[in-house]
Every structure is written in C-alpha cells, then in structure tokens.
Structure 1
Amino acid sequence: MKKYFLMIFMLLLINASAFASGSLNAGKSEPANLVVYRSKSLSTAGYWDLSDYKLPAKAVITGIKVKWDYFSSLSNQRYSGLELYLYNQKGKKVLLKNNLIGSYASTDKFNGELPKQKWKLRYKVKDFKYEGSYFAITPQLIIYYEFKKDKED
C-alpha cells in the first residue's frame, strides 16, 4: 500500500507546475510630488507606466503597497484622515488600506490582474490644522506578483 501511495505522489510531483513570486518596485510617480492645498480636495495625480516593464508573461498581482514621504510649507502642519486612491489602466478606483503606524498603505483589490499596465494615484486629507498651505507626498509603488512556471518555460 505504501508503494502505491508513493508512486501516486511521485507522479503528482512530476506533473506539478511550480510557482514563483517576486516584487516590483516601480519607484516614485511622475511627477514625484503630489500636492494638495485644502482638505477634502483631491491632489494632483501621480503616474507609473509599467506597460513595457520586463516581467514574466504570466505574472499576476498578489498585492500592492504604496509607501510615501510627506512634507509641507509649514513645519508645524498637522493633518488627519489621509486617503489614497489607486487607479488601474481601466479606471478601476480602489481606496488603499492605510497602515496606522508608518507611511504606507496596501490593497489586494487588484489581485489576479496583470502588473504590466498604467497606474495612477491621488489622495486627499480630511482635515488640516492650517488650510491653504502646501502639502505633498512622494509616493512609491510596490507590486507583489506570482507566476506559474510550466514545464515548457
């Protein structure tokens, strides 16, 4: 009986496809600094064009993270309620889940899609201590992906 199970296991192992995974750091958006002056208004947009990025043909997204630095024209500017919106090439808009500690947000709402496309990011702030001052973030896009490696690959 053990030999029978061992033979089945070996056949399954031989026929199994392997999965590989990786991450793509797309760097800063274009333009690098996304600016807003008033609370509750959308910032300027930042773009990443990954259409021609070298990735395996069968790569699909398993997660996305956006990290950022921020700065203001006022050294004592305070804010609350930062909301980041990521758009794919087809215009699908997703509110990123903002981490409470650290300057990054993530989503799994694009899982299964191709990473090789155009991306756009905008944000807004619910409340500023001082309205009308220059406030900007410098976002960085990171895409996690996996791909199925067939016997032919």
Structure 2
Amino acid sequence: MLKGISPLLNADVLYAIRAMGHGDDLIMCDTNFPADSIARQTRLGKLLRIDNVTAGEAAAAILSLYPLDTFVDDAAARMEIVGKPDEIPAVQQEVQKAIDKAEGKPWPMMSIERYAFYERAKQAYCVIQTGERRFYGCFAFRKGVVPPDAE
C-alpha cells in the first residue's frame, strides 16, 4: 500500500500510466470488451486489469493520477450505444461524474461509434479491463501534461 494512491491501482497499471506520454490513449473497458485481443495490438502489448470494481470506481482511481489532455476535444470518450448514439446509460453517467470530479469542472465525453472505438483502442498505449459487467462500460482517456510547479 502507498499513501495517497488508490489501492485499486496495481503495480502494472501504475507502471503503464507513468510510462505514457502526452497524447497517448488509455482504454478502460468492461468485461465484455474483446480486451485481450485488442490489448495485444497496443503499444504495451498486454492486457492490464483492475478486477472486481465498476467502471466508475476504476475511472476515479485512474483519474486521481492521470491528467486529461486539454489540447484536444476527445480526451475523454465513451463507446456509444449501437442504434442509440445519444443515449447515456448509468455506467457512462458514473464515469462522467468521476471525470468531472477529477478535473474540477464539467468535462463532457465525446461519443465514438462501436467499431471506430475498437480501432482507436488498437492504437492506444494500453487497455485496462475492469470488473464492470454493465454494457457500454468502455472509455478512452487521452493523457495530458502535468505542468511545472509555480516559481
């Protein structure tokens, strides 16, 4: 255990989010996502896991350390529901709350069509599969920067 770091963030996840650079994508997905096969195509090349937690809990833990990119509109994105792109299910509402809390302001997620989301995931730095069993618990977070301390 480490002080100030969520115990949900295991050593593999901490390594990956520390190693990522500005503009790299992190995919956080539910249990139904083809996580292993897509993770093998990412920069990291292996699947990471945060088991037995919801997408909202995992997002809160990740975003407690991971800055979102302020230079792009799609730094936070969600997989849209097939045939209902404007519908936002409870799982996505929970992750939206985690994003807004971490950023200290409303930060709306962009929606991405299912197959376009798979393609974005293949180009990501890593994939983290959560224990989320609700459908459409899949998200993309683009890494931002940590500014220097004020002088």
TM-score of the superposed pair, with normalisation by structure 1: 0.32
Q: Which has the higher helix share?
A: 2
Higher Cα Rg, which structure: 1
Q: Which has the higher strand share?
A: 1
